[in-house]
Amino acid sequence: MKKLLWKLLALILGLGAAFAYYYVTIPAFNIHSLGTWMFLIVGWLVLVLLGSFRKFRFTKKGAVTFEDKKGFSFTKAGFGVLLVMVVVLLIGTLLSSPIVNADAYQKLLAVEEREFTEDIKQVNYNQIPLLDKASAELLGNRKMGSMVEYVSQFEVSSLYSQINYQGKPVRVTPLVYASPIKWLTNHSSGIPAYIMIDMTTQETECVKLEQPIRYSKSEYFGRNIYRHLRFSYPTYIFDQISFEIDEEGTPYWICPVKKFNIGLFGGQTIGKVVLCNAVTGETQSVDVADVPEWVDRAYTADLLIELYDYYGSLKHGYFNSILGQKDCLKTTDGYNFIAMDDDVWVYTGVTSVAGDESNVGFVLMNQRTMETRYYSCAGAEEYSAMSSAEGQVQNLGYHATFPLLLNISDEPTYFLALKDDAGLVKKYAMVNIQRYQIVAIGDTVAECEKSYITLLQTNQITHTDSSAIKARTGIIKKIESGVIDGNTHYYVILENSEDIFDVSLAEFVGIVRYEPGDRITMECLEGVDTWQVIGLD
């Protein structure tokens, strides 16, 4: 009887340990999941070890010892099965690797070569994200510090997903419980808000929700987003999940599902996407081709860059990518995001594997559709451009962010923010990609662009298109002054016109003589919100 009870106890403990292991690690029940294979191997090993004991023997002092059941066939068979699983795992890993599937890996990503000036339109200041993630985190933490009702109970998550929201680039991130104790006291009411930062204006908003977020990474047990997804979709292998909001501001978790195209574990892309409402926990699984347009990230930047590296380096096989390296290309060390066509595109340069300091071109990769566009444009590598911009302000000790790609006067141009040691953006820089010694610095984006266009003309790279310069004469209806980043600007509206003309006081001091009712003649360039005055009579 005691022997039976101990065996029953051992079985219960074994099953309990297996459930605890599964509940904590939550592996997918999928042959393509390494977590599943480890769960099976470890579980089978424990079962074999338990089965290798013949009986329990009790000593006089009540201690329990085990006597090995030598020659027991179950033990040998069990270790045989274990060996087979390990061999299958190793062979599957090898057959899934680029070593034997270089051609298949190289064709995972379809790349289309395009013309820069046709795809990348002239700069629109309303769509330029002026902040990187580090700067966004500073603004988010500063905003959180001012929220007295939340600051002692919640913190700001470090996610800061960059998305397009109602036509503008923003970063959004949820609040999280400040500690397990704070979770214990607040989880019944949920997470009340998320942070949204406008990447163009740097406006930071704490968006309070009518219904709180109840499913997140900072929850425990069933409301933890990973556990919630696993119990809803036990066979799905999820990639990195991201936090987004739809066009109405409803928070969602965007959960890409991995698809393996080569062997057991190789050739990962995305096959499906699960949309999880962070408030209600409701989920919807859709094919990646059917993802709603408001979703901005089905493919992570790291995955897209990995796929392009396969495309660029495996054209002549795996061993050529290691040894001869003929025609081998790779992405540069770093990337940024561009808002275009209401989608978020990953930008990075393309250089040779030799590791020189120049690019042969650059790529844009759509995070929702995986569409990839290549633009041939020889020029400076991003870090060379960053060093060139920092050299212009070396007396101030500012540090450049990883650049964005802009079209300025049909010239591929790096746009960078220059930050001080506290992480605050102080100036902006524009660097010509093909001639990175041409660097313009400005306190504002408009000022920087104007200096850059002047440099392009001075260096005979571009010429002023006289048709772009418009003369405007009229009676001043309204004139007001304002200070932008420490610089005074006058804004003029003429009678019978709704256009706003921006006059920089630093360049046209004579503007102070004008009042409503005066007649004025200006030469200007049309902009998105205002006309930039470049001449004043």
Q: What is the model's pLDDT at position 8? A: 74
Q: Which of 186-190, 262-266, 292-296, 469-473 has the lowest mean pLDDT?
A: 469-473
At 40, is the pLDDT very low, low, confident or very high (cuts 50, 70, 90)?
Answer: confident
pLDDT, averaged across the chain:
85
Q: Which of 197-201, 414-418, 529-533 has the lowest mean pLDDT?
A: 529-533
Tokens 């393309």 correspond to what residue? 350
Per-range mean pLDDT, top range of 36-50, 238-252, 426-440: 238-252
Instruction: Report the pLDDT averaged over residues 455-469.
Output: 70
Can you tell me the distance from the alpha carbon of 102 to that of 313, in angstroms, rounded to the nearest whole number?
A: 9
More confident residue, 46 or 323: 323
Q: What is the model's pLDDT at position 325? A: 83
Residue 60: its H or E element: none
Residue 122: its H or E element: none
Q: What is the model's pLDDT at position 463? A: 60
Residue 519 in this model has a pLDDT that exceeds 90: yes
Instruction: Report the pLDDT averaged over residues 39-60.
Output: 65
At 2, is the pLDDT very low, low, confident or very high (cuts 50, 70, 90)?
Answer: low
How do 501-504 and 531-536 pair as beta strands?
A: parallel
Q: What is the model's pLDDT at position 1? A: 61
Contacts of 131 (CB under 8 A, 6+ apart): 139, 171, 197, 199, 202, 417, 425
Please give the class, per CATH, of domain 467-536.
Answer: mainly beta
Q: Which two tokens stand for residue 153?
A: 């109970």
Please say whether the beta carbons of 273 and 112 come within 8 A.
no
> What percentage of the chain has pLDDT greater than the value 90?
41
**Closest among 228, 286, 268, 275 to 251, alpha carbons compared:** 275
User: Which residues does residue 502 pair with via DSSP β-bridges, in sequence order?
Assistant: 491, 532
Q: Count, in order, helices (H) and strands (E) of the chain.
A: 13, 27
Instruction: Report the pLDDT averaged over residues 373-396.
Output: 89
Q: What is the model's pLDDT at position 501? A: 92
- Give tens-digit pLDDT for 206-218: 999 999 999 999 9
At 486, is the pLDDT very low, low, confident or very high (cuts 50, 70, 90)?
Answer: low
Per-range mean pLDDT, top range of 109-123, 257-271, 399-413: 257-271
- Give tens-digit pLDDT for 173-199: 999 998 999 999 998 899 999 999 998
- Give tens-digit pLDDT for 331-382: 998 898 888 878 899 999 999 887 666 888 899 999 999 999 999 888 888 8
Q: What is the model's pLDDT at position 67? A: 47
Contacts of 433 (CB under 8 A, 6+ apart): 359, 377, 379, 380, 385, 411, 412, 413, 414
Diameter over CA atoms, the chain: 113
Residue 469 in this model has a pLDDT that exceeds 80: no
Q: What is the model's pLDDT at position 71? A: 44
At 528, is the pLDDT very low, low, confident or very high (cuts 50, 70, 90)?
Answer: low
Whole-angstrom CA distances from 43 to 5, 49, 304 are: 22, 10, 35
Q: What is the model's pLDDT at position 51? A: 61
At 56, is the pLDDT very low, low, confident or very high (cuts 50, 70, 90)?
Answer: very low
DSSP states along 15-44? HHHHHHHHHHH---S-TT-HHHHHHHHHHH
Q: What is the model's pLDDT at position 340? A: 81
